């Protein structure tokens, strides 16, 4: 794809994020690339016109994100339904999706403008609960919230009963989300291009309750049973809805997907080694 229009989104709560965005914008403008800044950046930088994040994908050939994985997840929600790749620039936080470091930014963009870049297609989840519909790049989490005791989560795959998990919660994640919350609760790492859904219990009462990977065509339905109030379902850590006993969450693969620009300097195995501190070659 010929990149002539770039939208920029940034976590302006991070030091210098807005200024870094401006520097990239000026660099791109000198190369006859039209730049659109998110309104959050414009609120920090004087004299810069800003646009809602939801409008940027329709105006751009690529979205560049300054921040960590949380900022990229926010951008992914805006890009959903648009054929616009996302490039994540890591500002020092622990990020699996923001794989280009700040000092690599200009060299990477130079390759991109020459058309010398690749993308990784990532599946999304659709989740519905009593009339509300959400999408997620990482995961849907049913959590006991502020409850003092475990909840019971009756779980079905393609309407066939799997198990009732007595636990603090349940995570249904994409392969992209397998290195997020699911990983911290003992879930497997799944290569991001391998479409599937990972069901991972959070602190289960029964130690034999283990994570399970199901095909992407599956439909996962989870019914909450609890005697207390306060349980929630949360999508990508950003959209949250309070649940009550008897509520069901249905999760399927979305018909939409997201394209993430891959680093020209390291492959996925190197990203894993670097982020997780694994040993290299002896």
Query: What is the spatial distance between Cα 105 and Cα 157, in angstroms, rounded to a whole number?
Result: 43
Which is the catalytic residue, given 20, 61, 69, 168? 69
Q: Which residues of 160-191 are buried (b: 16+ CB within 10 A; e: fewer)?
A: eebbebbbbbbbbbbbbbbbbbbbebebeebe
Query: What is the spatial distance between Cα 17 and Cα 66, in angstroms, rounded to a whole number?
Result: 6
- Answer for the pair 116, 108: CB distance below 8 angstroms, yes or no: no
73 pairs with which residues across the strands?
A: none
- Answer for the pair 127, 174: CB distance below 8 angstroms, yes or no: no
Q: Which residues are CB-neighbours of 220 under 8 A, at least 6 positions away?
A: 155, 156, 157, 172, 197, 199, 214, 250, 251, 252
Is 69 a catalytic site residue?
yes
- Answer for the pair 211, 102: CB distance below 8 angstroms, yes or no: no
Q: For the residues of 185-207, what is the DSSP string, one character each?
A: TTPPP--TTS--EEEEEES-SST
Residue labelled with tokens 């599946």? 123
Q: Name the nearest CA neighbour of 221 among 127, 139, 119.
A: 127
**89-92: long-range contacts at Cβ-Cβ below 8 A with a sequence spacing of 24 or more?**
89/20, 89/24, 89/64, 89/65, 91/11, 91/14, 91/16, 91/17, 91/20, 91/66, 91/67, 92/14
Q: Which residues are catalytic?
A: 69
């Amino acid at each position: 794809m010929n990149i002539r229009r770039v939208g920029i989104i940034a976590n302006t709560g991070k030091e210098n994020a807005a200024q870094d965005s401006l520097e990239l914008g000026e660099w791109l403008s000198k190369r006859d690339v039209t730049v659109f800044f998110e309104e959050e950046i414009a609120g920090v930088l004087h004299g810069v016109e800003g646009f809602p994040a939801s409008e940027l994908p329709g105006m751009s050939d690529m979205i560049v994100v300054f921040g960590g994985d949380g900022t990229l997840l926010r951008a992914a929600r805006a890009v959903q339904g648009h054929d616009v790749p996302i490039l994540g620039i890591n500002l020092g936080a622990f990020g699996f999706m923001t794989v280009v470091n700040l000092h690599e930014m200009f060299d990477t963009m130079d390759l991109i403008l020459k058309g010398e870049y690749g993308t990784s297609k990532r599946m999304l989840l659709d989740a519905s609960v009593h009339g509300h519909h959400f999408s997620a790049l990482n995961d849907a989490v049913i959590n006991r919230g502020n409850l003092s005791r475990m909840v019971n989560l009756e779980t079905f795959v393609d309407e066939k009963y799997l198990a009732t998990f007595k636990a603090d919660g349940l995570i249904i994640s994409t392969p992209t989300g397998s290195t997020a919350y699911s990983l911290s609760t003992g879930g497997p790492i799944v290569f991001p291009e391998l479409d599937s859904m990972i069901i991972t219990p959070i602190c289960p009462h029964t130690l034999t309750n283990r994570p399970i990977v199901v095909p992407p065509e599956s439909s996962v339905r989870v019914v909450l049973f609890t005697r207390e109030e306060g349980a929630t379902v949360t999508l990508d850590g950003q959209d949250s809805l309070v649940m009550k006993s008897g509520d069901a969450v249905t999760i399927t693969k979305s018909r939409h997907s997201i394209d993430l620009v891959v680093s020209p300097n390291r492959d996925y195995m190197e990203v894993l080694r670097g982020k997780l501190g694994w040993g290299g070659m002896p």
